Amino acid sequence: MAQAPPRRFYLLTSPRTASNLVIRILNLPNQPSLLQDTKYEYFFGPVLGWKFQHHTIGKHVDELSEEEKNELKHSYQVCFDALSIQVDTAAPQRKNMFVKEHVGWLTDPVAETKFVFGEHSTCEQPWTIQTSYASTHTALNETILPDEYLKTWLPTFLIRHPALTFPSIYRTTIDNEGQQAARDDPAHVLEMTMHWSRTLYDWYIQQEYLSQFNAENGAHWPVVLDADDVILNPQVMIRYSKVIDLDSSLLNFAWEAASSEELEQISKIERRMRSTISASTGILKEKASAGLSIGTEMSKWETEFGKEEAEKLASWVRLDYTDKAPDLHKPDSTTPNAASILGLPTELIHIIVDHLHPVDRVCLALTCKSLASAVLSAPRLCPTTWSRFNDQRYSWLLPESYSLILRLAHGWIPKDKLRYCWKCHKILPRKAEYFRKRLVYKKNPKWDAKLQIPKSTWEHMSKRDRYKHLIEMWCGSPLEDSSSVYCDFCREKNPAAPLIYPVVCPVCMEQELTFLWKIPRKPWFRKMLGKIFVFILKTIGVVIGLVIGVLVWIIRTVFTQGRKGWKAICS
Ligand SMILES: [Zn+2]
Ligand SMILES: [Zn+2]
C-alpha cells in the first residue's frame, strides 16, 4: 500500500488558551512522525515584536507611513519564509509538520483596521503574503495568507472560555507593562475577542478539501479542542494525538517544574507567558471553566483590577459570547439562567428572527446590544426590509412605520414613567416638572372637546389652572399610551375598549389650543402680499370700469333708440 503523503497540522490558538499545556502534553520533540530539532510554534512572533517596537498596534492602517507599511509587509514575508524552509525540509523526509500559531498574529492589518474602525474605514486592499501558490483572498479569510496556502494545512482550533482568557491576558499585560499601560492598551480590543478564530473557523468549514481527510483516524476537520476538555479529560488528548498521527504512548501528563537555570534562558515576557506551565508538574484542574459564573468572576475582577476595568472585561466577555461558533458554546457557564435567549448561539437567534415580522425584529434588537448584533447579522435582511420603517418619505404610503411606533409604544416602555405622544412621536416622561419647564405660557388656551371638560367649566378657569389641567391630563392619565389605537395583542386583551380622545403631550396640546394665524414678520412675504393685493385691486378696478362702460353704452343706445321712436310717433 502506498504511504500517505506527509500532512501539515496547524494548531490555531488565541493567547491564554492553555496552548502551552497542549504542546507540553503532545511531547512534540519526541514524536517520530514529526520533523525533529525544529521550531513548533510562533513563526509569526517577530511581526508582533516589530509592531511593539514601532508602536503600531491598534493603529489605523492608513496612518502607517509607506516605509512602515513596507517594513511590516517585509516582516510578515520573512516569518513566512522561515516557516516555508521548515515545510520544505519535512516533505522529502516524509515527516509531518505540526505548528502552533495565534490566529491574531496571522491577521491582516487591513482586517484589523476594519474590525476596530468599521467596515468602510479604509480603501486599502487586503495584504497577502507572496507564496508559491495562487493568491486568492476570499471575504472570510482575514489572514495575510492566501486561500490556496491555508488549504495546504489541516486546522485545529484551540478555544477556552473568554471569562478565563480575557482576565488572564489583562493580568499578563499588567505584569509585563504595568497597571497604567494595561488600562489603555490598544492591543486589548484586538485580543479580547474570539472574532479572529471564529472567522477563520467559518472560512475553513466552507472548504471542501477537508472532507477527504474526515474519515482518517476518526477525525472531523476542522477539529475544535476545548481547553476544559484538555484539562479535565486525558482521553481527549489521547484521541487527538491519534487524529494528528502522533504516538499516544509518548504523551506527557506529568513533568518536572522548570528549573531556575531553564527559566534564565528565556526572555522576561516569555517567562511570564509560560509561568503557569513552568511552575506546574502536571495539569491544574482548577484552570477549567466548569461552574463558572460571570457574576462571581466580576466581583473577583473588581477586587483585582478595580471596578472600571472589571466592567470593561465583563463587556468584552459578553460581546464575545455572541461571536462564538455553536460547538464552542456552553450557555450554562456564563449566563445566569440556562434557558435565557442570550444563551443561544447566533445561528439559532437567526432562525428565530427569520420567523418574526420586521417590526418584531426591531423590538427584539432594541432589548440589548448582544441581541442587536445577532439580529442585524441575520441573513436575508436586506436594506429594502428596513427602508419601509426608517424612510420617512414613504410613511404616508405604507403603514408599517406606524405599526412599529405603536408596538414600541405598547411594548417595552415602563408605562408608569413614560408615555408615547402620537402627535410629536416622542416618548416623554409623566413628570409634571418636565413640562412646566417646556411650556410657553404666553397665551390662554381655548376650549376643545379633547380637554374632556365641559366648556362652561373651562371658561371659568384661570390661565394658570388651564395649563395645570393640560399637564395633569398627560401625567395622570390611566391610559398606557396616547394613540387610542390598539395593536392586535392589546385588542385581544381589551375587546371592549372605549373609544376616547387620544391624550397628547402638554407641549403639543399648548401649540394646538393657542394657535392663531398671523402674517409672518418676513419682509419679502409682506412685500409679496402687498403686490398681490395691488394686483387684485387693479383687476377689480378694470372689471368695474368695463361693467360701467357696458351699462352706459346700453343706456345710451336704449335712450337714443327710444328718442328716435318717440320723434317718429310725434311727427
Ligand atoms: Zn407631543
Ligand atoms: Zn399594543
Q: Report pLDDT digits (tens) over 466-478.
A: 999 999 989 888 7
Query: What percentage of the chain reaches a pLDDT higher than 90?
Result: 35
pLDDT confidence of 313, banded at 50, 70, 90? confident
Tell me which ligand sits closest to the C-alpha of residue 509: 1
What's the complex ipTM?
Answer: 0.80
Q: Is there a single domain that holds both residue 424 and residue 285?
A: no
pLDDT over 50 at 334, yes or no: no
pLDDT confidence of 368, banded at 50, 70, 90? confident
Q: Is there a single domain that holds both residue 290 and residue 423?
A: no
Q: Which of 496, 513, 530 is the last residue of a domain?
A: 513
Q: Which of 463, 496, 513 is the last residue of a domain?
A: 513
Tell me, yes or no, whether 62 lies in a domain. yes
Tell me, yes or no, whether 449 lies in a domain. yes
Tell me which ligand sits closest to the C-alpha of residue 427: 1
pLDDT over 80 at 428, yes or no: yes
Residue range 380-395: average pLDDT?
57
- How far the first Cα of the chain sits from its last, in Å, is 152
Neighbours of 339 (CB within 10 A): 9
Distance CA(156)–CA(114), nearest Å, equals: 26
The Å distance, Cα 497 to ligand 1 centre, comes to 23
Residue range 40-62: average pLDDT?
91
Tell me, yes or no, whether 499 lies in a domain. yes
CA distances from 54 to 42, 51, 58, 65, 249 (A): 20, 5, 12, 11, 46
Tell me which ligand sits closest to the C-alpha of residue 407: 2
pLDDT by residue (tens digit) across 520-529?
Answer: 777 888 888 8
Residue range 171-194: average pLDDT?
87
The Å distance, Cα 511 to ligand 1 centre, comes to 10
Environment class of 112 (CB within 10 Å of its CB; exposed 0-12, middle 13-18, buried 19+): buried
The Å distance, Cα 430 to ligand 1 centre, comes to 12
In the chain, the number of structural domains is 2
pLDDT over 60 at 382, yes or no: no
The Å distance, Cα 144 to ligand 1 centre, comes to 55
pLDDT over 60 at 338, yes or no: no
pLDDT confidence of 490, banded at 50, 70, 90? low
pLDDT over 90 at 58, yes or no: no
pLDDT confidence of 325, banded at 50, 70, 90? very low
Distance CA(365)–CA(372), nearest Å, equals: 4
Tell me which ligand sits closest to the C-alpha of residue 502: 1
Tell me which ligand sits closest to the C-alpha of residue 511: 1
Tell me, yes or no, whether 563 lies in a domain. no
The Å distance, Cα 425 to ligand 2 centre, comes to 15
The Å distance, Cα 32 to ligand 2 centre, comes to 70
CATH number at residue 44: 3.40.50
Tell me which ligand sits closest to the C-alpha of residue 489: 2
Which residue type is seen at 155? P
The Å distance, Cα 506 to ligand 1 centre, comes to 7
Query: What is the CB-side half-sphere exposure of residue 140 using CA atoms within 13 A?
Result: 13
Tell me which ligand sits closest to the C-alpha of residue 506: 1
Q: Which three cell numbers stand for residue 270?
A: 516569555
Distance CA(135)–CA(139), nearest Å, equals: 13
The position carrying cell 500559531 is: 101
Tell me which ligand sits closest to the C-alpha of residue 435: 1
Q: Which residue has the higher pLDDT, 215 or 412?
A: 215
Tell me, yes or no, whether 43 lies in a domain. yes
pLDDT over 90 at 551, yes or no: yes
The Å distance, Cα 376 to ligand 2 centre, comes to 24
Tell me, yes or no, whether 556 lies in a domain. no
Tell me which ligand sits closest to the C-alpha of residue 428: 1
Tell me, yes or no, whether 47 lies in a domain. yes
Q: With residue 102 as reference, give the H or E element that holds it.
A: strand 97-102
Distance CA(287)–CA(277), nearest Å, equals: 11
pLDDT at residue number 479: 72
pLDDT confidence of 327, banded at 50, 70, 90? very low
> 63-72, 161-170, 277-286, 562-571 — which is least confidently predicted?
277-286
Domain that holds residue 462: 414-513
The Å distance, Cα 559 to ligand 2 centre, comes to 82
pLDDT at residue number 378: 66
pLDDT at residue number 330: 39
The Å distance, Cα 427 to ligand 1 centre, comes to 8
SS3 readout for 253-303: CECCCCCHHHHHCCCHHHHHHCHHHHHCCECCHHHCCCCCCHHHHHHHHHH
pLDDT over 80 at 557, yes or no: yes
Tell me which ligand sits closest to the C-alpha of residue 487: 2
Task: Kindly report the length of the chain.
Answer: 571
Q: Is there a single domain that holds both residue 72 and residue 212?
A: yes
pLDDT at residue number 332: 38
The Å distance, Cα 496 to ligand 2 centre, comes to 14
pLDDT by residue (tens digit) across 136-158?
Answer: 998 889 999 999 999 999 999 99
Bridge partners of residue 420, in order along the sequence: 427
Q: Which of 513, 531, 555 is the last residue of a domain?
A: 513
Distance CA(528)–CA(525), nearest Å, equals: 5
Q: Which residue has the higher pLDDT, 481 or 181?
A: 181
pLDDT confidence of 116, banded at 50, 70, 90? confident
Tell me which ligand sits closest to the C-alpha of residue 512: 1
Tell me, yes or no, whether 242 lies in a domain. yes
Which 3 state secondary structure label does DSSP give 336?
Answer: coil
